[in-house]
Copies of this chain bind each other. A is one copy, B any other.
Amino acid sequence: MRRPAKPPSVRPAKPRRAAARAPAARPYHHGDLRRVLIDAAMQLVGEGGPEAVSVREAARRAGVSPGAPFRHFPSRDALMNAVAEEAQRRFRAEIETALVDAPAGDPLGRFRCLGIAYLRWTMQNPTHFEIISSRRFFDHDRSAGVSSDNAELIGLTERTLAEAFSAGQLVARDLKQVQIAGRALVYGFARMHIDGHLPRWGVGEAEVERMAADIVDLFIAGIARPATPAAKV
């Protein structure tokens, strides 16, 4: 928690709205402090993980007094909520973008795309993923934005896998188990990365995305009905 010496609060002087003919120095009213605080907190998350976010430091970076943020967020948790919503929004957008290139008529193929897009984003944004995945940093239940975006994504993967099931692409009997196992697999790999376990398993940073794709494929191979073989009774 102890912070190293900091340059004395750069203060980028950002009069955004309501600055029509105002003088150059930041006016008394910031203009868009809420937004700037969220951005600063997002940056802090990127730099040092969720626990590196402090209200005071965000205020410092925004160039306002330590009490100012509390006009916009009733608590640090509320700020974290906003940060998590921002991260969740980006996460969802990226995954849905990746899905447009996915094969339309092949639910299992779409599931594969989902898993790989999920892992790609988490590998590239580990600390931001950490916020939205752990209950510690804010109150999920009280954050409608995160919950709804998250529920959308979960619903999407559930539906996709259910379609694969209905289409007879799976050998498994219990769809719910497959869904949870699939989720546990990708979530576990993402957390192994975040928590620094992968080096111990012989996966260097350069191979991470490749390995991510490989284990998604391995999982799919484990649940997919063998496609072409002449076997099967």
Contacts and interface: CB of A to CB of B under 8 A. Distances in A.
Contacts of A136: 49, 51, 195
Interface stretch (A8-16, A24-32, A58-66, A183-191): A183-191
A218 interface: yes
- Copies of this chain per assembly: 2
Interface string A141-157: 00000000001001000
Nearest to A137: B51
A175 to B, nearest CB: 11
Interface residues of A, number: 46
Interface string A222-233: 110000001111
Contacts of A134: 195
Interface in A207-224: 211, 214-215, 218-219, 221-223
A140 interface: yes
Interface of A: 49, 51, 133-136, 140, 151, 154, 172, 174, 176-181, 183-192, 195-197, 200-203, 211, 214-215, 218-219, 221-223, 230-233
